[in-house]
Structure 1
Amino acid sequence: MGTEGANFLVIAGRYRLEAKLGHGGMGVVWRATDQLLGRGVAVKALPLDETFSAEEARWQRERTLREARAVVQLRHPNIIVVHDVIEHDERPYMVMELIDGGSLADRLAANGPVDAAEAARIGGDLLSALHTAHAARVLHRDIKPANVLIESGTGRVVLTDFGIAQVAGATTLTESGSFVGSPEYTAPERMTGVRTGPECDLWSVGALLCAALSGESPFRRDSLGGTVHAVVIDEIRPPAQAGPLLPVVRGLLERDPERRLGAVEAERMLRAFLETGRTPPRPAPEREYTPTQRDLPLRRSPAPERSRSGGLMAPVRSGRGVLTAALLVAVMVGAGLSAAVLSTDWGGRDGRTTAGTSAPGTPGGSASGTAGSSAPGTPVSGSATTAAPAPTAALPSAPSGYRVAEDPAGFALAVPDGFTREPQGERVFYLSSGETFRLGIKVTDPQPGGPLGVMRRAAAKGPETNPGYRDGRVTSVTHRGQPAAFREFTWDGFSAAEGARHTYDVCWEEDGRLYDVWISGPIGKARETKEYFDVAVDTFTVP
């Protein structure tokens, strides 16, 4: 048992607990005095699952102590120093250095967001710390502003609670449905239970950079279901304040962990910004994304199984088994996810490319080399649209709120109610009222280099054809076993009054023809734009 002295609890006969500094899911932290060495320390009481049997509790304590001792070996100026690991009254404790200063969360709450230079400094120091920790096979798994301390006077960045989530042996989503960790900073592959590795920490740094620059994580929502949906499925929209560091932020917030920007390269880019005021472009990922669950994103998946209550059921594997269907239903339904979106988006690399991601919606342009032509809705003279191949398939069905457009150009697809047809030479547009959304289709003969070559040439011309062209990305995938390519980008739009727009485009070859489907919409309505795009691509048929 601990001893009482001057109303203070002394544990292990040495550490006098004097004042509670904070508490949370990962334990309680005390300001304490090491009476042997006469110095101030911080002592964290690590949590144990009180529902465990005696044998399970013993196993958990042993694992906690073993892994905590691994954290003690970490030595880096931006990682909090762990002095000791002890067990007292059958509970593990970590004894750490005491930092004179508040957390980044405290700083943001008191003073608001930081500028790009300060965010780059903080991010660079965290990435350096993570590189050291990951080399020692230690993960953090709960990186967030509250776990980043800023030392008073020196400005030293200190990552605290390092390894605590790992030490505690906690999974992200438990079998009972409770959440352990910080959802708005948790990587999608960990959220769904697919994997947990160093890349998860790097995703968290990307979310933290956004929070430092804007005041909150880009994945913050009003409910757990909404947050999970934002992390796993929604299109990722970094805040405008992230502009100076956007290559790093986007690189760290790659949903495919194998394409995510590494710690060393991300730190190098942030240090370059601090030195030059400019962030260099990220290097090309070592591999192109290859869909594994199905040919993404153009063929509709089988309808999800329904629970007895009518909710959608899509079991997700985790480290401890299959997540309960009820949990997934709560997450998806709470986020307002429809069956159509679930079937087209779930399991993709990221929310942008699971059902086709990217591109021309430029001033009326398609990836097939016409991105510089006049905007949709502008009268254009030219030849008739391309003749259709011989009928090969039945007409698609349209979701609620859509209608099937059997186009004279020889194809059919579902378009939102109220969209009107506007042919322009080789291209056909379906436009919303006021041309807020511009859906385009082009059918041509195959082009040199195939779909990927077409997209790359269009991307190279992006700055010429699209004012303010930025964040362009081309990805190679397959559709129905045939070569396909996705592209997306942001640009300044047709006019200053209209504002910035985001474009999605997919191009593929099928039956000796090259098909190109794209859409552009206001950057503030990216989710709606993406839904229209997904439905158009998913229902596209050559009757």
Structure 2
Amino acid sequence: MAERYRLVESIGQGGMGRVWRAADEILDREVAVKEMRIDGLDAEDARTRRERVLREARATARLDHPNVVRVYDVVDEGERLWIVMELIPGRSLEQIMTEQGPLSPRETARIGLGLVAALREVHARGVLHRDIKPGNVLAGPDGRRVVLTDFGIAAIQDAKALTMVGMLVGSPDYMAPERVSGRPQGPPSDLWSLGATLCAALAGHSPFSRDTTLATLHAVLYEEPRLPHSAGPLSDVLSALLAKDPAARPDPAAVEAALHPVAFPAPTPTLEPTPVLIRPPDPRPATGRPRLQVFLAAAGVLTAAALTAIVLTATSGTPDPGDDRAAGSPATGAHPTVEGTSRPPGLPPGARREAGGFAWAPPEGWRRDVKTAAEIHYTSPDGTQELVAKSALARGDLMETWRTSEQNAHQGRDYRKIRLEETEFRGHPAVVWEYAFTLGGVDWHARLLGFTAKGKSYQINTWYRPRTEAAALRVYDDVKQGFTVL
């Protein structure tokens, strides 16, 4: 690696590894280098993952399209695998949403056209992306070039494998229903994620985003999307893309036809004003506006027990490979600790300030996974405990939201409620939810704490193996004590 590529600085980190800004010393150009994490359950599993990463890198390297990140090289150093890619100047769609707020229908449609063009090329080569979301969409500084990046999940997952090391792979807010339920996937699955991403561009969040992972996955499987009020001319195509039945979703040509007139509206001719006779309007014809055909599946949904097994898989906390920002856009909310810098007053030693408006001091040596700018996960080295801190705009009563999620979870056989009750945290009204569940024959314990402060809701959660309870709760209590709303 050092013979040709010189690492300059870390610009992102996620479940699959770290992304670096680097210099190609031979061609004298800046590149993005992704250091892949492919640790497996055993040597054979690690070997299989390595082969998948290399296979996917080769497939992606054959793509030459302005809307797909270019792969230049792969460096295999035995224990580490490095993928060298084009460095895209600019910001991710997630960063744009965070810094500027929701986009207009016109801006959203233009981004959508770039992504549809990327998916045409990718699907034609037999590759599925599987993790399309705002963090994996990059926009150039002039706003004209839109690039789809980070094919990490495609490299380590096949159609039958939803989880990696017992954890959910991907972002629940943007997963197609068939992917959540373990059914066969295909190009329509990516198109569903495209629809959720465009909704997020208009509203600032996924149409299926809820306060808990459990509630989010239930919404993906069973609820209709909450389309943004600002969707306007995009409402029909977004509804079609988010159909539960993959066969009912429009193909790329239909999506492009719907997006193009919104992205590039025909100029309105300027006419000289002329006098008009104002009269009562004629009765409107009883015809609705044309819509893209959407046929929702009436069969094939999961049983409640199966749903619970899936959503509890998700609540076990999951690394998110998609948050690597593979093409070189800095990861929102990833603030690396710099030795020698002063700590803001009032924060405990080792505290990290997060973009979600809070600071906390996670344990040293744990793996950091950035789900979104406002949701950060840490996993213990032995994989027996995970810590999560997150924030969101306060929406409704937290107890009511969690009570609904708990009722849905109760329908499953592998879920056992321990308590769901009101409490307080630092003088703020709070809710604590504690439960046990079994995943693949392995017992887990969950403890969630949520509270509202300054118009935002915050959560400090943990999942751990029951045999480690004493030590796990000590770690959890320490993290809670250091949690600070900024």
Q: Aligned partners of 1:54 and 1:139: how far apart in 2?
A: 26
User: Quick one: which of 141, 155, 173 aligns to 1:167?
Assistant: 155
* Mapping of residues 26-175 of structure 1, within 5 Å: 26-50=16-40, 52-153=41-142, 155-161=144-150, 163-169=151-157, 173-174=162-163
Structure 1 pair 263/341, CA: closer, same or farther in 2 (3 Å)?
Answer: farther
3-state DSSP class of the match of 1:258? helix
User: Quick one: which of 167, 174, 197 aligns to 1:185?
Assistant: 174
Structure 1 pair 315/65, CA: closer, same or farther in 2 (3 Å)?
Answer: same
Q: Aligned partners of 1:98 and 1:328: how far apart in 2?
A: 32
**How far off is 1:102 after superposition?**
1.2
Map of 2:293 onto structure 1: 284
**How far off is 1:265 after superposition?**
1.0
1:198 and 2:168 aligned: no
**How far off is 1:221 after superposition?**
1.3
Structure 1 pair 329/15, CA: closer, same or farther in 2 (3 Å)?
Answer: closer
**How far off is 1:205 after superposition?**
0.9
User: Quick one: which of 405, 408, 417 aligns to 1:335?
Assistant: 405
Q: Aligned partners of 1:166 and 1:138: how far apart in 2?
A: 8
Structure 1 pair 107/290, CA: closer, same or farther in 2 (3 Å)?
Answer: closer
Q: Aligned partners of 1:118 and 1:328: how far apart in 2?
A: 33
Which residue type is aligned with residue 152 of structure 2?
A: I
**How far off is 1:56 after superposition?**
2.4
8 Å contact from structure 1 (residues 175, 324) kept in 2 = no
Q: Aligned partners of 1:100 and 1:328: how far apart in 2?
A: 33
Q: Aligned partners of 2:32 and 2:314: how far apart in 1?
A: 38
8 Å contact from structure 1 (residues 172, 180) kept in 2 = no
Which residue type is aligned with residue 261 of structure 1?
A: P
Q: Aligned partners of 1:17 and 1:68: how far apart in 2?
A: 20
Structure 1 pair 41/334, CA: closer, same or farther in 2 (3 Å)?
Answer: farther
**How far off is 1:175 after superposition?**
7.2
* Mapping of residues 342-381 of structure 1, within 5 Å: none
**How far off is 1:69 after superposition?**
0.4
TM-score (norm 2): 0.57
Map of 2:447 onto structure 1: none
3-state DSSP class of the match of 2:264? helix
8 Å contact from structure 1 (residues 127, 267) kept in 2 = yes
8 Å contact from structure 1 (residues 315, 328) kept in 2 = no
8 Å contact from structure 1 (residues 131, 264) kept in 2 = no
3-state DSSP class of the match of 1:40? strand
Q: Aligned partners of 2:259 and 2:310: how far apart in 1?
A: 41
Unaligned runs of 5+ in 2: 268-288, 318-401, 413-486
3-state DSSP class of the match of 1:276? coil
Structure 1 pair 176/78, CA: closer, same or farther in 2 (3 Å)?
Answer: closer
Looking at CA atoms only, which structure, 1 or 2, has the larger radius of gyration?
1
3-state DSSP class of the match of 1:314? helix
Structure 1 pair 40/339, CA: closer, same or farther in 2 (3 Å)?
Answer: closer
Structure 1 pair 324/218, CA: closer, same or farther in 2 (3 Å)?
Answer: closer
Map of 1:314 onto structure 2: 306
3-state DSSP class of the match of 2:237? helix
8 Å contact from structure 1 (residues 128, 264) kept in 2 = no
3-state DSSP class of the match of 1:335? helix
- For each residue in 1:344-385, what CA deviation from the matched residue of structure 2 results, as whole angstroms up to 9, or x when unmatched? xxxxxxxxxxxxxxxxxxxxxxxxxxxxxxxxxxxxxxxxxx
3-state DSSP class of the match of 2:7? strand
8 Å contact from structure 2 (residues 129, 153) kept in 1 = yes
Unaligned runs of 5+ in 1: 3-9, 295-300, 305-311, 317-322, 343-543
1:14 and 2:4 aligned: yes
Q: Aligned partners of 2:29 and 2:240: how far apart in 1?
A: 42
8 Å contact from structure 1 (residues 19, 32) kept in 2 = yes
**How far off is 1:72 after superposition?**
0.6
Identical-pair percentage: 44
Q: Aligned partners of 1:75 and 1:67: how far apart in 2?
A: 15
**How far off is 1:104 after superposition?**
1.0
Q: Aligned partners of 2:235 and 2:311: how far apart in 1?
A: 36
Q: Give the 4+ runs in structure 1 shifted more than 6 A.
A: 328-334, 339-342
Map of 2:260 onto structure 1: 271
8 Å contact from structure 2 (residues 181, 310) kept in 1 = no
Map of 1:255 onto structure 2: 244
**How far off is 1:196 after superposition?**
1.8
Q: Aligned partners of 1:249 and 1:265: how far apart in 2?
A: 12
Structure 1 pair 179/314, CA: closer, same or farther in 2 (3 Å)?
Answer: closer
8 Å contact from structure 1 (residues 144, 204) kept in 2 = yes
8 Å contact from structure 1 (residues 47, 168) kept in 2 = no
Q: Aligned partners of 1:261 and 1:87: how far apart in 2?
A: 40
Map of 1:242 onto structure 2: 231
Q: Aligned partners of 1:21 and 1:335: how far apart in 2?
A: 36
3-state DSSP class of the match of 1:43? strand
Structure 1 pair 325/137, CA: closer, same or farther in 2 (3 Å)?
Answer: closer
- For each residue in 1:83-124, what CA deviation from the matched residue of structure 2 results, as whole angstroms up to 9, or x when unmatched? 112212333221111111111111111110111110000011
Map of 1:471 onto structure 2: none
* Mapping of residues 348-497 of structure 1, within 5 Å: none
Q: Aligned partners of 1:146 and 1:66: how far apart in 2?
A: 24
Structure 1 pair 314/272, CA: closer, same or farther in 2 (3 Å)?
Answer: same
Q: Aligned partners of 1:264 and 1:29: how far apart in 2?
A: 34
3-state DSSP class of the match of 2:34? strand
Structure 1 pair 130/341, CA: closer, same or farther in 2 (3 Å)?
Answer: same
Q: Aligned partners of 1:203 and 1:145: how far apart in 2?
A: 13
Q: Aligned partners of 1:199 and 1:259: how far apart in 2?
A: 9
**How far off is 1:153 after superposition?**
3.1
**How far off is 1:324 after superposition?**
6.9
- For each residue in 1:178-215, what CA deviation from the matched residue of structure 2 results, as whole angstroms up to 9, or x when unmatched? 22111101111101111221111111111111111111
Q: Aligned partners of 2:46 and 2:298: how far apart in 1?
A: 41
**How far off is 1:216 after superposition?**
0.8
8 Å contact from structure 1 (residues 225, 333) kept in 2 = no
8 Å contact from structure 2 (residues 167, 316) kept in 1 = no
Q: Aligned partners of 2:172 and 2:191: how far apart in 1?
A: 15
8 Å contact from structure 1 (residues 76, 132) kept in 2 = yes
Q: Aligned partners of 2:12 and 2:292: how far apart in 1?
A: 41
**How far off is 1:67 after superposition?**
1.9
Q: Aligned partners of 2:157 and 2:310: how far apart in 1?
A: 20
8 Å contact from structure 1 (residues 49, 57) kept in 2 = yes
**How far off is 1:249 after superposition?**
0.6
Structure 1 pair 30/218, CA: closer, same or farther in 2 (3 Å)?
Answer: same
- For each residue in 1:250-282, what CA deviation from the matched residue of structure 2 results, as whole angstroms up to 9, or x when unmatched? 01101100101222210121012223379x945
